């Protein structure tokens, strides 16, 4: 941590080493919170409005008393980037239920934190040769009330991801209790077969990823056939291409899962095309 690092806490910027939370904060005690991880290019957060829209909606759905509106949160993000003099950055916005001693509907209770750090990207080699993934033994549960939300209660995903990394993989794919393909620990998943883009529908207990939605938008604008439908292990085995998405990795090709080779073990043409369209959209919206 640099001595001049700043974070945004509740309503103002403060030095990072002076930022403190109540020991009664529900985010600390119960993981009762939400977060957004975003990527800034040339000092501007890509698809910021979509990230904030998802956060505000989730706060309402999960009864987190967030007083701050999208305009306030956007200014907090911008101020944090400027204060830390960052251009290419990883930005995290975290909101918690706040101090448990306050009433559940007290809008003063919620905690808001924005942090920004210099961006560490995935190795270039992964985009050229593809990532290896494994299959998670843990299942997604459609009855889980925090399914489909980017909850701070993230330990199960981190444990599964750590196990995947110990096996030499970069991600683990989760299935639902109905054995439908769901998502990765920290990513959404896409398949390509017969020049058609396939991805699990949002009716599954998966996160409505911002990058996921962007890729679907770009694919449709480019007249690439897309289908959101339940997918199984057979679809995964039969896929000609697989790729993952999140805000930091962007479009990440997957060329192996477990011991199974995907396609010719190189990023496929549809993956490469969508990665190109994504970079073009970033350039247009962020001026890079």
Q: Are strands 131-140 and 250-257 parallel, antiparallel or unpaired?
A: parallel
Distance CA 165, CA 41 (A): 28
* pTM exceeds 0.85, yes or no: yes
Local confidence pLDDT in tens for the 288 residues of the chain:
446 899 999 999 999 999 999 999 999 999 999 999 999 999 999 999 999 999 999 999 999 988 889 999 999 999 999 999 999 999 999 999 988 888 766 666 789 999 999 999 999 999 999 999 999 999 999 999 999 999 999 999 999 999 999 999 999 999 999 999 999 999 999 999 999 999 999 999 999 999 999 999 999 999 999 999 999 999 999 999 999 999 999 999 999 999 999 999 999 999 999 999 999 999 999 988
Determine the topology of domain 124-286 in CATH: D-amino Acid Aminotransferase; Chain A, domain 2 (3.20.10)
Give span(s): CATH 3.20.10.10, the chain: 124-286
DSSP letters spanning 156-206: HHHHHHHHHHHTT-SEEEEEETTS-EEEESS-EEEEEETTEEEE--TTSS-
For tokens 């010719």, name the residue.
Answer: 264
Tell me the C-alpha to C-alpha distance, in Å, between residue 151 and each of 10, 28, 99.
Answer: 19, 13, 17
Residues in the chain: 288
Tokens in use for 119?
């961006």
Tokens in use for 261?
């080779």
Give the H or E element holding residue 280.
helix 269-286
At residue 288, the pLDDT reads: 86
Tell me the C-alpha to C-alpha distance, in Å, between residue 10 and each of 7, 14, 163.
Answer: 10, 10, 35
At residue 39, the pLDDT reads: 98
Give span(s): CATH 3.30.470.10, the chain: 6-118
Give the H or E element holding residue 261.
strand 260-261
At residue 235, the pLDDT reads: 97
How many other C-beta atoms can be found within 10 angstroms of the C-beta atom of residue 225? 12
Asked if CATH classification 2.160.10.10 holds for the domain at 6-118, the reply, yes or no, is no
For tokens 């949160």, name the residue.
Answer: 73
């Amino acid at each position: 941590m640099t001595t001049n690092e700043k974070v945004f806490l509740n309503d103002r910027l403060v030095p990072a080493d002076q930022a403190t939370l109540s020991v009664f904060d529900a985010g600390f005690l119960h993981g009762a919170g939400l977060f957004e991880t975003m990527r800034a290019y040339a000092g501007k957060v890509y698809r910021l409005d979509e990230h904030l829209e998802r956060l505000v909606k989730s706060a309402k759905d999960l009864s987190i008393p967030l007083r701050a509106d999208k305009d306030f949160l956007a200014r907090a993000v911008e101020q944090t980037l400027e204060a830390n003099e960052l251009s290419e950055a990883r930005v995290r916005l975290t909101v918690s239920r706040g101090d448990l001693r306050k009433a559940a509907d007290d809008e003063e209770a919620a905690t808001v934190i924005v942090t920004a750090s210099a961006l560490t990207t995935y190795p270039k080699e992964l985009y050229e040769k593809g990532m290896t993934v494994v299959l998670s033994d843990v299942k997604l549960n459609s009855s889980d009330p925090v399914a489909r939300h980017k909850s701070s209660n993230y330990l199960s995903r981190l444990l599964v991801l750590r196990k995947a990394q110990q096996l030499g993989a970069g991600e683990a794919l989760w299935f639902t209790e109905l054995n439908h393909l769901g998502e990765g620990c920290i990513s959404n998943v896409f398949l390509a077969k017969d020049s058609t883009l396939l991805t699990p529908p949002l009716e599954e207990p998966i996160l409505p990823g911002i990058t996921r939605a962007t890729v679907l938008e770009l694919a449709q604008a480019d007249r690439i056939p897309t289908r959101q439908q339940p997918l199984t292990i057979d679809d995964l085995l039969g896929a000609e291409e697989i790729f993952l998405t999140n805000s930091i990795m962007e479009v990440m090709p997957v060329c192996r899962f477990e011991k199974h080779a995907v396609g010719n073990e190189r990023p496929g043409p549809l993956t490469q095309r969508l990665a190109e369209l994504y970079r073009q959209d970033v350039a247009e919206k962020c001026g890079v």
